[in-house]
Amino acid sequence: MSVDAAALQREIDELAEISSHPAPAVTRVLFSDEDLQARAWLKEKFEAAGLAMREDAVGNIFARWTGTEPDLPAVATGSHTDAIPHAGKYDGVVGVLGGLEAVRALQRESFQPRRSLEIIMFTAEEPTRFGLGCLGSRLLAGTLDLEEVSKLRDPEGRSLEDLRAKAKCRGELESVRLAAGHFHAFVELHIEQGPILEREGLDIGVVEKIAAPAAFRVCIAGEGGHAGAVLMPGRRDAGLAASEIALAVENAALHSGSPDTVGTTGVFHIEPGAINSVPARAMIEIDLRDTNLATRNQAEAAIRDAVADIAARRKVDAAIEVINSDPPAICAPEIVETASAAAAARGWSVSRMVSRAYHDSLFMASICPTAMIFIPCRGGWSHRPDEFSSVEAIEKGVRVLADSLRSLAA
């Protein structure tokens, strides 16, 4: 098989130049000018490979290599090209451009797929615009209530409808949803975003389970006042209550009974935000993840109990709002075995893994058999400008992906 790894790296580098922040940072927020430019650039690449394209009502892009039996459910691959502010150039992109190179490699060896092969560029895997990750794949899987989607607003108050119009995405959002069985299989190539493969000197990881997030917003109302005039015994400090809740999140994750439970309080807002004013209001956002729904639920219950206890003890009001709550996914054993065998057949070391970050694959798994292929990334670093995966690692991932697609499409 002829994989042009050098050309693929040039494409990754070229796409990275489409960014609202200068290199080495990459920033491409959903439906920004940079995102729209990247989409147009990608469509040119798909067209040059002779792929038939369609774009749905939320901007998911599908590029199809038609098989000899086009009525059969297709085999799909892909990922995303949007990027959080000051990110790197490999997250998501390796799955989209690597998927394209896997298809081109199969074309070069004159393979004729029985099932069509389709590359998907998912809309808004990152939560930057609306605070909700995997918008495109959630809508594909039908896991989002469309009335709730209509309420989404970005920090400037713009709705998804406003931005869809800017991006010229046509059609009703109801049309995005795909029926179960629409795809025969889905395989996503991705950098690990963790240190295990590099640390253990492994070539390929094949994902068996994908952890899923539950996200919560806690709004706390206390009583403000002058920092010098309000004495400590009478304070109703919303900021200290929020801080204590954040520590309770850590404690709940540490004592869930599962090594895969992680809890993060990544957003922390205080009002009025003055050094000489007691915080009257606070808002925190909590990300709770696990591969086991039971232990995640146990940790969530512990956090809720802690919020109630802290609010009562500190004499503040605390309201919890669920942002999203998704079940973990178990990858399809037959695809896990296909990808593992493809790596082993080439003499490469392979390990079965858990994905602790979630991806579009989490939602694709609800509509078709799904698995993921991981490649090492330096230091396990991601979502930062020094994110890096070597040309050699990417080439191995593309070859394993191409071999897997060949088997699944034949």
What pLDDT digit, counting tens, does each position of 84-137 carry?
999 999 999 999 999 999 999 999 999 999 999 999 999 999 999 998 999 999
pLDDT mean across residues, the chain: 97
In this prediction, residue 180 carries a pLDDT of 87
pLDDT for 74: 98
Whole-number pLDDT of residue 131 = 87
Q: Please identify, among 288, 303, 325, the residue that sits at the C-terminal boundary of a domain.
A: 325
For the cut 90, the answer to whether the pLDDT of residue 295 exceeds it is yes
* Average confidence (pLDDT) over 176-204: 97
Predicted structure pTM score: 0.92
pLDDT of residue 328: 94
pLDDT of residue 1: 86
Domain with 250 in it = 213-325
User: How do residues 12-21 score in pLDDT, each as one tens digit?
Assistant: 999 999 999 9
Q: Of the residues 284, 303, 325, which one is the last residue of a structural domain?
A: 325
Write out pLDDT tens, residues 42-53: 999 999 999 999
Q: Are residues 115 and 183 in the same domain?
A: yes
Q: Are residues 156 and 221 in the same domain?
A: no
d(CA 45, CA 149): 31
The domain that holds 168 is classified in CATH as: 3.40.630.10
Q: What is the pLDDT of residue 138?
A: 97
Angle at which helix 5-16 crosses helix 391-409, to 10 degrees, equals 110
Compute the 3-state secondary structure of the chain and give helix, strand, coil in percent, each to the nearest 5. Answer: 40, 25, 35
Same domain for 244 and 192 = no
Whether 360 and 230 share a structural domain: no
Distances (CA, A) of 76 to 119, 120, 364: 6, 7, 10
Do 280 and 403 lie in one domain? The reply is no
CA gap 338, 335 in Å, rounded: 5
CATH number (domain holding residue 240): 3.30.70.360
Q: Is 121 helix (H, G, I), strand (E, B) or coil?
A: strand
Kindly state whether residues 223 and 314 are assigned to the same domain: yes
Please, are residues 94 and 52 in contact by the beta-carbon 8 Å criterion?
Answer: no
The string of pLDDT tens digits covering residues 322-353 is 998 999 999 999 999 999 999 999 999 999 99
Residues 225 and 129 in one domain: no
Q: Are residues 143 and 198 in the same domain?
A: yes
Residue-wise pLDDT for 276-288, tens only, equals: 999 999 999 999 9
User: Domain ends where: 325, 352, 387?
Assistant: 325
pLDDT at site 162: 95
Work out how many domains the chain is built from and give that number.
2
